[in-house]
Structure 1
């Protein structure tokens, strides 16, 4: 039972993937700065990978607690790990379906055991903040009498498409032998969307996969959540968010990243980060194309080759992040033979880097991206227009927002088709050195202004997170029969 005479204690459980972990860590820090006690739970495998990356980077921080430095700054964040059901050394990148199956069937038992232990040792837990893609939050929250807060780390548009899967099925746009291809105009809060812009899993003909099982179960659970927090901005998706709020308390609280710094006080990178500053300093302003396809989705070898040749023929300076297992294999070099020899003077390849540090550097003038949501928000914040090459899941829908709705990027891939080197080269040149690129930079400044305004003291995201805290506090008081007045030890203002 929660005691509101003490700070509210939130159990925070991010999905064990890089793109989900980053906004979760930032949000946990923000809530702690507003008076929460946070118990943050990583899987042992994620913790092991973070610790390994820190060691490889020469960090001297405590490898047993990624929040040690945050606590030294006065934040009340505890840190725990739990098994995901697989050995730590198991290669989850090369065995994707087996990894997903453990998240579907096994992880919940370990979470259950962990919550039982925490409830016995205290302090009492008021609520659980868990990623929407987990398949057990509502069930476990009910078992332990916890308020269930669902964290959605993607745009509200993607959330509402999954939330209304039943409408897509009813109208023949999803889970049919021959999905309809006409425009979808019946989703509440969505004016219209082309089926090619749906998340990839809602375009699939085979819906028996383990990922589809996760999606179906996760959104059945999400519909029972008490509150939904979304890493988006109201001003960017007002109609969609307003329609969702009618169905469920839905708070746009993004972007969660610290807007006054490119470096987090908490280690959360799964790979060692290369420092590209010296190389970037040697290049003219706006001359460098940053290339990264994120932390998760694989790229086809043929497409990688065509993109590489397009980059080569464009003659631009570039930094290219090629993470391990970029092709879902352990191939040593996914690039064409001789590629780096031909462009050694104007390009570097790194396995991973601090993306915000690179994007915010004055020499970077464009971003060839997979359209992951974190990457889009970071690119907008740094004022860098995008070349869009979506690969999987929400990235196709994110691409629509960037190219069609906000007009801050150019697509080089649509409808899951292959790319050609000539097209890649031409669009790189257009982004980096034409009036079109200049127009995109003007538009992205306007979108960035929306992000800046929402994070001001009276901005929508700041108001929404304070409203969520107040609503949560009142629900805790009502649920446990205590007074609704604010405890002097619970401060809703940032420290």
Structure 2
């Protein structure tokens, strides 16, 4: 996509981008920040202190090649040895950010509005707009209280956001809560536009723990943040018309404005050093170079999933039985050290030419490599759109959050892969890998979708046009908010704790 500067440095708005400090949220919001910089805006990207220390080389001062992008941080309120969101602990992280991190966030944002922060000599004008992760409503509310216009960025798929918006309707129709013994293959009619293919098992994972009085904490939190998003000035989604046009259209009826501006990684490549909390093993690329075209199964279950010993055993046996070389990303915290050792022993016995195991991989480079034939994935939204944009067939083994509904789109809507949810059986793993690697229909569908996504993100495409509209929206907000910010910069705001 070509990039046009839309503002001079002197007049450019200054946007603060604040993701939930988890890898998947950081990834797409970093690409978003890169796009804003390419459009001529100043961007402050707000990490947690913990993650900025992990990144190491993403310093607070602007880099020479991107002088309008800088990195600051606030505490997340958790001790350094806390696992954060790994293994499903996202609720604890979000609560700590709300109750503890929000205090530092308020203070930092107020200083950046006044232009009196430690980095005021960077040449950055006062902050004029905030983009906050939709899972952190406090970040929007605090910005608006201070006098800074704030928008919501949702890092999940549009289809899952729409499912969350539909929770009250699902209760009205009696499709929630699930009851003991309910057939998970029963159709779901309460999510608009998905009546023809959505089943109970395809709803986001937390729907399975719903109760009559909505007391499940995750479901309550999602209902709250979704209602908050509907009241925000606008909602930004990392998606494209070709992927989720119907869902975006339905969302538009519930929110003040919506921008579908993705897949952002395909529009605005971002340096990995600014985003990845793990150091990638680049040696896997040389290993891929030695494999035949479309012969390798790439396996990655993302940055948060953990698996049991039993799942590990079935999964590994299915991979080996499928008969294809495989590249498996096995994070050190995904299974115990003993499982890591066992896997490496299995790889050794299978032969180094048939398998490669790494702690983390440069996923975009891997998916673009000629040797990769299919992607065995947890169907997190970043991984899903990255594979879609490259035309790589998928086998989806979803775990939680939006992964269930994403995998249904892969298998039943786009038909670019297979959905293996709720099953962990070595025979099924092997069979689905073989089908994804060998099916001409799946590969043709994957390539056709990739062509359409490339049209969406190219100049004049739907996502590119939406991004340009969003930049104009930011500029207008920044202009209209100028008088209030001037008041604040002159001492009109008295800080209060959130």
Fold match, TM over 0.5? yes
The question of whether the paired residues in 2 share the 8 Å contact of 1:48 and 1:88 is answered with no
- The aligned counterpart of 2:274 is 267
- The aligned counterpart of 2:13 is 8
- The aligned counterpart of 1:59 is none
Measured after TM superposition, the shift of residue 211 of structure 1 is: 3.5
Bigger shift: 121-130 or 176-185? 176-185
For 1:105, what is the secondary structure of its paired residue?
Answer: helix
Q: 1:339 aligns with which of 346, 356, 369?
A: 346
Q: How is 1:292-303 mapped onto 2 (pairs within 5 angstroms)?
A: 292-303=300-311
Q: In the alignment, is residue 373 of structure 1 matched against residue 375 of structure 2?
A: no
Alpha-carbon spacing, 1:462–1:94, altered in 2? closer, same or farther (3 Å): closer
Q: In the alignment, is residue 99 of structure 1 matched against residue 83 of structure 2?
A: no
- The aligned counterpart of 1:183 is 187
Alpha-carbon spacing, 1:64–1:242, altered in 2? closer, same or farther (3 Å): same
Q: How is 1:347-426 mapped onto 2 (pairs within 5 angstroms)?
A: 347-411=355-419, 413-414=420-421, 416=422, 418-426=423-431
For 2:45, what is the secondary structure of its paired residue?
Answer: strand
CA distance in 2, matches of 1:429, 1:258: 28
- The aligned counterpart of 1:243 is 250
- The aligned counterpart of 2:221 is 214
CA distance in 1, matches of 2:194, 2:67: 39
The alignment of Structure 1 onto Structure 2 pairs a total of residues equal to 458
CA distance in 2, matches of 1:175, 1:107: 34
Q: 2:55 aligns with which of 45, 50, 54?
A: 50
CA distance in 2, matches of 1:196, 1:99: 27
The question of whether the paired residues in 1 share the 8 Å contact of 2:131 and 2:153 is answered with yes
CA distance in 1, matches of 2:267, 2:464: 13
The question of whether the paired residues in 2 share the 8 Å contact of 1:230 and 1:253 is answered with yes
- The aligned counterpart of 2:38 is 33
CA distance in 1, matches of 2:40, 2:400: 37
Alpha-carbon spacing, 1:458–1:336, altered in 2? closer, same or farther (3 Å): closer
The question of whether the paired residues in 2 share the 8 Å contact of 1:173 and 1:180 is answered with no
- The aligned counterpart of 1:64 is 59
For 2:274, what is the secondary structure of its paired residue?
Answer: coil
CA distance in 1, matches of 2:128, 2:467: 17
For 2:466, what is the secondary structure of its paired residue?
Answer: helix
- The aligned counterpart of 1:291 is 299
Q: In the alignment, is residue 232 of structure 1 matched against residue 248 of structure 2?
A: no
TM-score (norm 2): 0.85
Gapped regions of structure 1 (runs ≥ 5): 52-61, 483-495
Alpha-carbon spacing, 1:335–1:402, altered in 2? closer, same or farther (3 Å): farther
Measured after TM superposition, the shift of residue 78 of structure 1 is: 2.3
CA distance in 2, matches of 1:428, 1:315: 9
Q: 1:88 aligns with which of 80, 93, 108?
A: 80
Bigger shift: 377-386 or 181-190? 181-190
Q: Which has the higher helix share?
A: 2
Alpha-carbon spacing, 1:481–1:99, altered in 2? closer, same or farther (3 Å): closer
Q: How is 1:424-463 mapped onto 2 (pairs within 5 angstroms)?
A: 424-432=429-437, 434=438, 436=439, 438-463=440-465
Q: What's the C-alpha RMSD, in Å, of the aligned pairs?
A: 2.5
